[in-house]
Amino acid sequence: MDISQIINELAEDRENYFNAVAPPIMQTSNFVFKKVADLHKAFEDEMGGYLYSRGLNPTVDILRKKLAALDGAEDCLVFNNGAAAIFAGIFANIKSGDHIVSVAKPYTWVQRMFDVILPRFGVTSTYIDGTKIENWKNATQPNTTFYYLESPNSWDFALQPIKEVAALAKSKRITTLIDNSYCTPLYQKPVEMGIDMAMQTATKYIGGHSDTLGGVLSGSHAMMKKIFDSEYLNIGSGIQPFNAWLLIRGLRTLPARIERITNSTAKVVSFMKQHPKAESIIFPFDESFPQYELAKQQMKGACGLFTFVLKTSKMESIIKFCESLQHIMMAVSWGGHESLVIPKCAGLKPDDPIAIGFDASNKEHRYVRMYVGLEEAEYLIADLEQALIKF
Ligand SMILES: *Cc1c(COP(=O)(O)O)cnc(C)c1O
């Protein structure tokens, strides 16, 4: 289906709500029944209709149908945030004694799930450099039942060869889940590449205005039903109607925002690339990127996030740079209207036995990640320029 049709028309039965262009926020917890037989049917298959808003809700359903179509998937579930979507997708597909193979340095809360929560239930995991298919093969054990991907990663943008990993998993009956937040379905459709479940945080680009959280998990209808009937209803982490409405609103402008951000990011990246105070930049669509060819092959585009390394050995210089920015704000997250930076050194723990404080010889410690929002590129470049001469 055409992307414009998905965004503007799909699942919007306007004649049911006074031909209003914008759908109503169906702010209701439950739905009434006239016949016991109908209530019985709803109990038997809660995903088949409306019973109670911890399950399905009409406003959420409009969003759900649009997001599934964008992903090229049969179905999807929309959660209250991205972390919940990942948690449910993994939890519904593992059992005690299972082993997970995951890309190195997945999203913080996924790592926490693998390191802290799952071991309590007898599930172990191995982190690998996911850039090479051999590493997936070698890390797979007889009890491996799950592969976790994140391509690109949101700091160094490491990619996995998605089609190859999906094919390997299929040959071994291993379930796959990918965090597709960096690309959104506009730039990458992992389900069409053979991955079982594609997750994205709707908090970022789909919402687009830094005013709501949301998480998307898409895949086959059978997989979504399995998750809906267990984790989705049990954890109760489904999105609320008002937040779903904000995401429908965000979706209307998604392609326009992504197009603008793509253009501005290219300008900001090339400015930083040539700047004498920048040692290097990391951006999947830059020729210097180690997996540039693969990026071009499996991604339609890249935008918004890139990382740069400042030419300094002092943490104070990085701090000075970040604190000197006058318009670009410092915060976690990304995908909104506002441009942001976040320095890796803010997350260093002085008592971490591996990274004992800041170590300039470790390039990663000097990473500054930037998100390019909707401002004029020239406005952002001028801000970067004045902050770069401050150290
Ligand atoms: C933000 C983020 C998440 C989690 O999404 P929330 O909506 O904040 O729970 C997962 N993966 C990546 C790459 C993210 O940036």
pLDDT of residue 355: 55
Strand partners, 79: 215, 238
Cβ of 107 below 6 Å from ligand 1: yes
Residue ranges of alpha helices (H) inside 140-253 are: 162-171, 184-187, 221-227, 241-252
Mean pLDDT along residues 310-329: 96
pLDDT-derived band of residue 356, with 50, 70 and 90 as boundaries?
A: low
CA pair distance 50, 57, nearest whole angstrom: 6
Mutate-to-test residue for ligand 1 from 203, 206, 247, highest number of ligand atoms within 8 A of CB: 203
Distance of CA 107 from the midpoint of ligand 1 (Å): 7
Cβ of 159 below 6 Å from ligand 1: no
Q: Output the average pLDDT for the chain.
A: 96
Atom nearest to 182 CA in ligand 1: 13
Cβ of 59 below 6 Å from ligand 1: no
Q: What percent of the chain has pLDDT over 70?
A: 98
Cβ of 151 below 6 Å from ligand 1: no
Instruction: Give the tokens for residue 15.
Output: 């004649």
CA pair distance 197, 89, nearest whole angstrom: 8
pLDDT of residue 347: 86
Domains and CATH numbers, the chain: 3-252 (3.40.640.10), 255-388 (3.90.1150.10)
Could you tell me which residues come within 8 angstroms of residue 161 by beta carbon, excluding any fewer than 6 positions away?
Answer: 131, 132, 133, 294, 298
pLDDT of residue 351: 60
Mean pLDDT along residues 99-103: 98
Mutate-to-test residue for ligand 1 from 78, 102, 105, 107, highest number of ligand atoms within 8 A of CB: 107
CA pair distance 257, 240, nearest whole angstrom: 24
Residue range 342-354, pLDDT digits in tens = 999 998 876 655 5
pLDDT of residue 352: 59
The total of other beta-carbon atoms located within 10 Å of residue 328's CB is 23
Mean pLDDT along residues 108-131: 97
Q: What percent of the chain has pLDDT over 90?
A: 96
Distance of CA 16 from the midpoint of ligand 1 (Å): 34
Cβ of 154 below 6 Å from ligand 1: yes
Cβ of 198 below 6 Å from ligand 1: no
Q: Rounded to 5, what percent of the chain is helix, strand, coil?
A: 45, 15, 40
| pLDDT greater than 60 at residue 62 | yes
CA pair distance 184, 131, nearest whole angstrom: 20
| pLDDT greater than 70 at residue 299 | yes
